Amino acid sequence: MSLIKIPGLIDVHVHLREPGATLKEDFYTGSRAAIAGGFTFIIDMPNNPTPTITLERLEEKVELAKKAICDIGFHFGTNGKNIEEFEKVKNNPHVFGLKIYCNHTTGEMLIEDLELIEKVFAGWDSNKPILVHAEGEQLKTALMMAEKYNRVLHVCHISQKSEVELVREAKKNLQKVTAGVCPHHLYFIKDAVLKMKGYAMMKPPLGSQQDIDALWTGLNDGTIDIVETDHAPHTREEKESEKPPFGVPGLETALGLMYKAVYDGKIQEEDVIKFLYTNPKKIFNIPEQVDTYIELDPTVPYIVGENGYETKCGWSPFEGMELYGKVQKVFLRGKEIL
């Protein structure tokens, strides 16, 4: 094995479930999953059972997250009625963006009312991005608002061909719009739900082969800027229930899936660092992590799940798949932590 050294990776979209849903994950287990996957800096989402929509809840989260073994930042949340909190948190060094949910998903933070969405865009007067969970038509609204209020917009987990086209078009006029894609949308077709049932249910849902092709094209032509895992663990019991919650874990498999894409000729080797480090760092203005790097051999295959998982949920939708470049060593500020 001949190891290469690359920067500690950045995942700007994880759900570590604390406080309120620590049966699924917590900051310790989630950060162990991050490190196992080569991520040294992650940003946690606000859709907890008690959503992160006040300064007080943010401070509580920062405190709880001290048990994390990697670096961690937070996206603030909004239900459209906490605009007065924005002033209190927008310059907080722990906050990297504002998250808006325009579609049903895990948590109680949905905003459908156009007036409320507009209030949020008007109110978030900051260079830190507004992140949207918007599917299909909702994306048009978000792009329109970003233009109207001249806001920095990051479109989370794009999954449809039409969304890639919308972002590609928008980028012609808007300098400040970026987009992310999740590995599961790149690798699974919607029929996977027939076989994997609840384990393949997530928001946005899996797409068609056309959608998948458009996502790879979007990555290669600069329409899509980053790969974000949307690490969204749920217990096996929940996933096997009558009404499985949406979301899949992803921290431990994203890098291996990207090296598989290199091996399969879908992206270039230098793109791996671009999508998982350089671009996320630039878009979310993430501080330099000195002496922080990981070591791996991108030519050596491994099987997902062969040595178990660090995530508390203990499963992966990619189980059994052959990926490349398992992380062998992780150094955080010069200290070896894996």
Exposed e or buried b per residue across 172-193, where buried means at least 16 C-beta atoms within 10 angstroms of its C-beta: eebebbbbbbbbbbbbbeeebb
- Within residues 188-247, the interface with Zn ion by CB under 5 A covers 230
Map residue 288 onto helix, strand or coil.
coil
Number of chain positions touching Zn ion (CB under 5 A): 2
Beta bridge partners of 110: 101
Sole binder of ligand NCD in the list 29, 31, 47, 78 (CB under 6 A)? 47
- Within residues 234-293, the interface with ligand NCD by CB under 6 A covers 246-247
- Within residues 188-217, the interface with ligand NCD by CB under 6 A covers 202-203
Euclidean distance between CA atoms 48 and 16, whole angstroms: 9
φ/ψ of 133, rounded to 5, equals -95, 100
User: Quick one: which H or E segment has residue 168?
Assistant: helix 161-173
- Within residues 133-162, the interface with Zn ion by CB under 5 A covers 133
Output 79 or 328, the one with its CB closest to Zn ion: 79
Q: Which entry of ligand NCD, Zn ion, none binds 246, CB below 5 to 8 A by partner kind?
A: ligand NCD
Output 182 or 294, the one with its CB closest to ligand NCD: 182
| Contact call for residues 96 and 74 (beta carbons, < 8 A) | yes
Question: Among candidates 62, 60, 65, 90, which has minimal Cα distance to 76?
Answer: 90
Inter-axis angle of helices 161-173 and 209-220, nearest 10? 30
| Token pair in block for residue 324 | 């490349």
Euclidean distance between CA atoms 62 and 291, whole angstroms: 24
- Within residues 105-124, the interface with ligand NCD by CB under 6 A covers 105-106
Number of chain positions touching ligand NCD (CB under 6 A): 11
Min CB(235)–ligand NCD separation in Å: 12
Q: Which entry of Zn ion, ligand NCD, none binds 149, CB below 5 to 8 A by partner kind?
A: none
Binding span for Zn ion by CB under 5 A among 19-27, 85-93, 132-140, 212-220:
132-140
Identity of the amino acid at 64: L
Binding span for Zn ion by CB under 5 A among 110-118, 127-135, 177-185, 280-288:
127-135
The residue whose Cβ lies closest to Zn ion is 133
Residue 104: CB atoms within 10 A of its CB come to 12
Sole binder of ligand NCD in the list 230, 252, 271, 310 (CB under 6 A)? 230
Min CB(202)–ligand NCD separation in Å: 4
Which residues contact ligand NCD (rule: CB under 6 A)? 15, 47, 105-106, 133, 202-203, 230, 232, 246-247
